[in-house]
């Protein structure tokens, strides 16, 4: 396995008595899309600020390409692209001027800069609006440019802090495609979001952070395996005769059986569902309604923290 691009080692950040990060550790490898989930104030932005050399950790260290991230290290910043939560672009400049400016700051100049600007504009789908002032853009277009400004210097590590806040579905898909493409090119990506479904659909590995602690960090299948799926169905009458045969289905636990309503948790929703249908057919019991819920991060988060992500 390759060396990690980013290695967070027991990072602690304290502001006086307040502990923002309490010993966080994880690795991100080249080409990996690492999701960081956590509610507001969990410590995600603080962690990203330390990684992007804007803040010093109180203890522990963040290593990027083997070098310790520090506010004093200006060269290391060339390897990092940061997409802040805010729309950190200039509304009075046009899209091309914004990209030119941020590229120049990282030492990209001349023909190379022009080439990269054109390429980035195409990648974020703004070529036809390149010369329009950003203040005339929709929220989604601004978000895409916000991403583009972090890519112009071709960083090896990309930090995305809630990159799709307030974005329309079309722009969100554009951003997802670009993020996946970058990961495919070997860029290591840390993606923080409120939106669990985004992280679930994009990231191969996920860390869940709460109150400054990393309470779970693993690949998505392993995290999801912690939780089962749910099958809910309704039959015409109370069917006590079903209780026992349902219990005997392997990997199934009956959560509730209230008259005609049945709710059961199962490790493998598909297999369990086939068994339920077969059982009902066998006993000639009519199925009035059926609902299934696959295991997801929302339920994992709820299970681990005792509250929903947006509480």
Partner 1 sequence: MLTWILAKKDLRLLLRDPRAMVVLLAMPLIFILVLGVSLGEGFGQKPDDRLRVSIVDLDQGFADPDAGSGAPKLHWSKTVERDLAQTGGIRVELIPTLEEAEQLVAGGKRAAVIVFGPDFSKQMTQSSFLRGGVNPLFRDGIDLEALDARVLRDPTQLTAASIIEQVGQVTMLRVVLPWMIGRAFEKIGDRMGFILANTLQQMFPNYDLTGKTWAALTRAPERSDDGAEVSTYQPPAGSGLLNRGAQRYQILVPSYTVMFAYFLVLTVGWLFVAEKRQGTLKRLRAAPLSRAQILVGKLLPCLMLSIAQGVFLLIAGKLIFGMSWGTQPWWLLLVVICTSLSAMGLALLVAALAQTEAQVAIYGTLLVLVLAGLSGCLMGDREMMPENMQRISLVTPHAWALVAYKQLLANPAAPNVALVLQSCAVLAGFGVGFLMLAWAMLRLDDAT
Site for partner 1 contains 18 (CB under 8 A): no
**Burial (0-12, 13-18, 19+ Cβ within 10 Å), 68:** middle
User: How many angstroms separate the CA atoms of 303 and 232, rounded?
Assistant: 20
**In the set 9, 68, 78, 119, which binds partner 1 (CB under 8 A)?**
78
**In the set 3, 10, 105, 303, which binds partner 1 (CB under 8 A)?**
105
Structure tokens at 140: 């989604």
Q: In this complex, which beta carbon is closest to partner 1, that of residue 52 or of residue 120?
A: 52
- Restricted to residues 26-45, the positions that interact with partner 1 (CB under 8 A) are 45
Stretch that binds partner 1, among 33-41, 95-103, 266-274, 276-284 (CB under 8 A): 95-103
Site for partner 1 contains 80 (CB under 8 A): yes
Segments in 185-217 forming alpha helices (H): 196-202
Q: Looking up tokens 């923080």, which residue turns up?
A: 192
Cβ atoms of 87 and 165 within 8 Å: the answer is no
User: How many angstroms separate the CA atoms of 290 and 288, rounded?
Assistant: 7
- Restricted to residues 126-185, the positions that interact with partner 1 (CB under 8 A) are 149
Residue-wise burial string across 231-262, b where 16 or more C-beta atoms lie within 10 A, e elsewhere: bebebeeebeebeeebeebeebeeeebeeeeb
User: How many angstroms separate the CA atoms of 243 and 220, rounded?
Assistant: 33
Site for partner 1 contains 82 (CB under 8 A): yes
Site for partner 1 contains 309 (CB under 8 A): no
Site for partner 1 contains 220 (CB under 8 A): no
**In the set 58, 85, 127, 271, which binds partner 1 (CB under 8 A)?**
85
Contacts of 289 (CB under 8 A, 6+ apart): 232, 233, 234
**In the set 67, 104, 219, 281, which binds partner 1 (CB under 8 A)?**
104
Site for partner 1 contains 12 (CB under 8 A): no
**In the set 44, 77, 116, 143, which binds partner 1 (CB under 8 A)?**
77
Strand order in the sheet with 252-258: 252-258, 261-266, 229-234, 289-293
Structure tokens at 37: 């989930």
**What is the DSSP secondary structure assignment for residue 93, as one 8-state letter?**
S
Stretch that binds partner 1, among 22-30, 101-109, 239-247, 294-302 (CB under 8 A): 101-109
Pairing of strands 252-258, 80-83: unpaired
Q: In this complex, which beta carbon is closest to partner 1, that of residue 42 or of residue 89?
A: 89
The CB-of-71 to partner 1 minimum distance in angstroms stands at: 8
**In the set 54, 63, 279, 302, which binds partner 1 (CB under 8 A)?**
54
Stretch that binds partner 1, among 53-61, 221-229, 248-256, 286-294 (CB under 8 A): 53-61
**What is the DSSP secondary structure assignment for residue 126, as one 8-state letter?**
-
Q: In this complex, which beta carbon is closest to partner 1, that of residue 33 or of residue 83?
A: 83
Q: In this complex, which beta carbon is closest to partner 1, that of residue 108 or of residue 297?
A: 108
User: How many angstroms separate the CA atoms of 78 and 265, rounded?
Assistant: 49
Binding-site size, partner 1 (CB under 8 A): 30
Binding site for partner 1 (CB under 8 A): 45, 49, 52-55, 74-75, 77-78, 80, 82, 84-93, 97, 101-102, 104-107, 149
């Amino acid at each position: 396995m390759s060396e990690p691009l980013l290695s967070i080692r027991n990072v602690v950040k304290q502001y006086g008595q307040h502990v923002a990060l309490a010993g966080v550790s994880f690795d991100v490898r080249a080409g990996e899309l690492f999701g960081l989930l956590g509610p507001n104030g969990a410590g995600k932005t603080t962690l990203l600020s330390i990684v992007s050399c804007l803040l010093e950790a109180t203890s522990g260290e963040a290593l990027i390409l083997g070098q310790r991230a520090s506010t004093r290290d200006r060269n290391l910043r060339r390897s990092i692209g940061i997409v802040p939560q805010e729309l950190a672009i200039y509304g009075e400049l046009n899209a091309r001027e914004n990209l030119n400016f941020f590229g120049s700051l990282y030492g990209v100049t001349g023909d190379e800069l022009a080439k990269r600007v054109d390429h980035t504009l195409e990648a974020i789908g703004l070529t036809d609006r390149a010369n329009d002032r950003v203040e005339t853009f929709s929220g989604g277009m601004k978000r895409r440019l916000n991403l583009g400004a972090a890519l112009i210097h071709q960083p090896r590590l990309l930090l995305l802090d809630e990159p799709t806040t307030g974005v329309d579905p079309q722009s969100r898909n554009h951003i997802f495609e670009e993020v996946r493409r970058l990961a495919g090119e070997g860029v290591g990506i840390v993606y923080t979001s409120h939106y669990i479904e985004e992280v679930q659909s994009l990231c191969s590995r996920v860390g869940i952070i709460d109150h400054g602690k990393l309470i779970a960090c693993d690949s998505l299948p392993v995290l999801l395996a912690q939780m089962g799926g749910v099958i809910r169905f309704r039959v015409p009458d109370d069917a006590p005769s079903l209780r026992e045969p349902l219990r005997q289905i392997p990997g199934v636990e009956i959560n509730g059986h209230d008259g005609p309503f049945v709710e059961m948790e199962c490790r493998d929703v598909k297999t369990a569902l086939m068994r339920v249908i077969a059982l009902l057919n066998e006993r000639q019991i009519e199925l009035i309604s059926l609902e299934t819920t696959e295991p997801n991060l929302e339920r994992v988060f709820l299970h681990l923290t005792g509250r929903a992500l947006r509480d």
